[in-house]
Amino acid sequence: MKMLKFFAAAFVLFTACACSTEDDASVRALARRIIPDQEQRFRFERLADTTGTDWFELESRGKKIVVRGNNSNSIAVELNHYLKNYCLTTVSRLSYNPVEMPAVLPRIREKVRAEARVKERFYLNYCTFGYTMPWWGWSEWERFIDWMALQGVTMPLAITGQEAVWERVWTRLNLSQKEVCSYFTDPAHLPWHRMTNIDYWQGPLPQEWLDNQLELQKHIVARERKLEMIPVLPAFAGHVPQKLERLYPDAKITHVSYWGGFALDTAWKTGIDDNRWIERLTDRLTGFRDETARAIWRTLCDSVYTQPVQTGQSALTNAHPSLEGN
């Protein structure tokens, strides 16, 4: 009888442990950010699981909508599933677009359960950080990270702020601060610099921008990890400043060819005359020699494309070289 009682007690204890739940604070905070008026009407249950597969469940319990999963990422996906398929609403990645919710939350008639088809879900590429993100602050990133969690992203590319790290590396190798900052392109072209295609273009980068991006990256990575993502961080791609040759003349440094028809004559500061550079650029764009077109481009280069990028600037000059002082 004592042995039977022991097994009965052990079974009850095991059942309680296997089914124990906890409120997922990370997803609750996410819900508070995107649907603040309805957040309290949800219960976010995190259930311990050893299957090795991401899963979620959704059901109604009393006046609450219960969103259950094996981790924060899975629970966020199921919240999004409910918003899309029951509330018929969409969460935009843009923070200024509100989430329109019904006055009464729809009930779930039958429990919903789903499992992930793949374990890891990678998102983003290098170019996105030039087309979309170079001028983002934390408010834009915060909403975007929430959006990624709702979509089930587990491995987001996280390359913001890396120039601050490279700055430390190159200055420790005895390059000057000016040489290092001039090695980088402007923010909008940094993806192509990071992919070893171009240097200098529309630089130098302001020190303020480098410092701010480093702090921003710390916030980005911390929030992604809190939502149980694995940020994919950059590594060394073999790209070094050309000025290293001056300090390390015996180093084996390979000069790559010009990239994609880009007017790298100026980007690489090879000494080509500005007037000749303008002529070549104009002829390439028009397809033939046109003195009127050349004159127009000379005017643009003399009056518009003369200022280096400033912190937070997003203008026509970001897409073209600054010829000032070249």
Residues of the chain with CATH 3.30.379.10: 19-117
Burial code (b: 16+ CB inside 10 Å, e: under 16) for 188-219 equals bbbbbbbeebbbbbbbbbbeebbebbbebbeb
SS3 169: helix
For the domain made up of 19-117, the CATH class stated in words is: alpha beta
Whole-number pLDDT of residue 200: 82
C-alpha dihedral sign at 89, 93, 95, 97: negative
pLDDT digits (tens, 9 = 90+) for 171-198: 999 999 888 988 898 899 999 899 888 8
pLDDT digits (tens, 9 = 90+) for 86-110: 999 999 998 889 899 999 999 999 9
Locate 104 and state its tokens.
């009464």
Assign a CATH topology to domain 138-319.
TIM Barrel (3.20.20)
Nearest to 243 by CA among 282, 200, 188: 200
How many residues can be counted in the chain? 326
Residues of the chain with CATH 3.20.20.80: 138-319
pTM for the full model? 0.74
More confident residue, 153 or 326: 153
Residue 220 contacts by C-beta under 8 Å, 6 or more apart in sequence?
141, 145, 158, 160, 231
